[in-house]
Amino acid sequence: MVQFDNMELQNILKQKYNVHMRFVEVCDADFICMLRNDPQLTRFLSSTGSSLEQQVTWLTKYKEREKNAQEYYFIFESEDSERYGVTRLYEFTEHTFVMGTWMFINESPQYLALAAQSATIEWAFNELPAAYGMFDIRKENKISRFYNERFFNPMRIEEDELNYYYVLPKKNWEEAKKRIIKMFQ
């Protein structure tokens, strides 16, 4: 089981990306519910239950998956614990992980979405044995496609009616990370 008590890694991520990240807790259900009920934020995501009760139930089950190293759900917040957004890692194999559930409130600092995604990717490549990150982007989400292709240099490997599917080799991440870190220094 991976514990997010690696203070050295937390400090490195904070120094590199100027973000504070932690595992989501059940007490974050209200915040996640607010994100999930914002039609602007969820228009390109899979639909989920939108009630607070459903979110508490889902997070309670998630904490079991976290304990079993099956999934990791992160929350990003300010120094004074103002919550801004979430990312998630799931569907682990020996060589891959999937990144998703990337949602941030509109009032987030401008740099935060890029910093949070970068910190999540770096955390995954440091803490998981995987050599590849995987993710999908809805075809209609042109901003996210442009942003991900520009900053992370993933390889588009497949598409279907709704989505483009990408793989991010660790090598590509290491190259992208150098450029991204310079932006935050």
Which pLDDT belongs to residue 70?
Answer: 94
CA of residue 153 relative to chain centroid, distance: 17
Identify whether the C-beta of residue 135 lies closer than 8 Å to the C-beta of residue 148. Answer: yes
**Going from the N-terminus, what domains does the chain have, and what CATH number goes with each?**
7-184 (3.40.630.30)
Distance CA 12, CA 119 (A): 9
DSSP character string of 50-83: -SHHHHHHHHHHHHHHHHTTSEEEEEEE-TT--E
Which pLDDT belongs to residue 114?
Answer: 85
pTM: 0.86
Identify whether the C-beta of residue 121 lies closer than 8 Å to the C-beta of residue 175. Answer: no
Which pLDDT belongs to residue 5?
Answer: 55
Distance CA 97, CA 91 (A): 6
Closest CA to 110 of 84, 145, 71: 84
Identify whether the C-beta of residue 89 lies closer than 8 Å to the C-beta of residue 120. Answer: yes
Backbone angles phi and psi of 70, in degrees to 5: -100, -15
Q: In tens digits, what is the pLDDT along the chain, a chain of 185 residues?
A: 444 555 666 666 777 777 788 999 999 999 998 888 765 665 555 556 568 898 899 999 999 999 999 999 999 988 778 899 999 999 999 999 999 888 888 888 878 888 889 989 999 998 998 999 999 998 988 888 998 998 899 999 999 999 999 999 999 999 998 888 887 76
Which pLDDT belongs to residue 41?
Answer: 60
